[in-house]
Amino acid sequence: DAGVTQSPTHLIKTRGQQVTLRCSPKSGHDTVSWYQQALGQGPQFIFQYYEEEERQRGNFPDRFSGHQFPNYSSELNVNALLLGDSALYLCASSLESDRFWTDTQYFGPGTRLTVL
Amino acid sequence: GEDVEQSLFLSVREGDSSVINCTYTDSSSTYLYWYKQEPGAGLQLLTYIFSNMDMKQDQRLTVLLNKKDKHLSLRIADTQTGDSAIYFCAESETGNQFYFGTGTSLTVIP
């Protein structure tokens, strides 16, 4: 089992562009959460998807949107990129039955986004 | 959002104990966690503690929770060079959404 995989590993974009990041959850996991980790900071919750719906959202603007597919994989889209969007974007997968992440949660290695 | 604060850096000698501290503001936290992040790797859950517990021990790791002072600590016994990493505390009240601290960079000196 490959665990949580994310693509691409690195990405460079310019201001105003749009970007799509992808996440494949660990086999059997049905819930995907996205986090933004700026350099030198802890991860900040963007949103969580379950049953192809955005279930909970952190304090991020509408420029950040996502999608979950029937196979539980997920995409994070960011429109109108700003310099401040440069960060490591982490995907975490888990089981709905373990919403406090005490047993089943796994993080992917992240996608490093640089906005120039 | 909730505030979770940690000191930025800690340096210890191999074989000594490390103590990483964290303070949080959410008095309704249900679970509190410690994660480890190594370069190029995702976050790895080390251990967690339920909010009605004071202490939890898991092999070399000891978690202490002072709910009155909203203070959480992680003690690593017999620290090894492989323990060098960034450690994050995190808390969650309702599940699904987690608040992470700023991280403590632990350097283990051989």
Least confident of A32-41, A93-102, B54-63: A93-102
* 3-state SS assignment for residue A83: helix
Paired with A101 in beta bridges are none
The pair of structure tokens assigned to B60 is 């070399």
Paired tokens of A45: 């919750």
For residue A56, is pLDDT > 60?
Answer: yes
Interface test mutation site (partner B, options A93, A97, A101, max chain B beta carbons within 10 A): A101
Retrieve residue B70's tokens. Answer: 């909203």
Q: Is the Cβ pair B99, A45 closer than 8 Å?
A: yes
B92 and A101 in contact by Cβ < 8 A? yes
Between CA A75 and CA A59 the distance in angstroms is 18
Average pLDDT of span B84-90: 96
pLDDT-derived band at A1, boundaries 50, 70, 90: low
Contact between A104 and A29 under an 8 Å Cβ cutoff? The reply is yes
Q: Which of B44, B96, B101 sits opposite A56 (nearest CB)?
A: B96
What residues of chain B lie within 8 A of the CB of A4, using their CB? 42
Alpha carbons A37 and B68: distance in angstroms, whole number: 29
pLDDT in tens, B4-44: 999 899 999 999 999 999 999 887 878 899 999 998 788 99
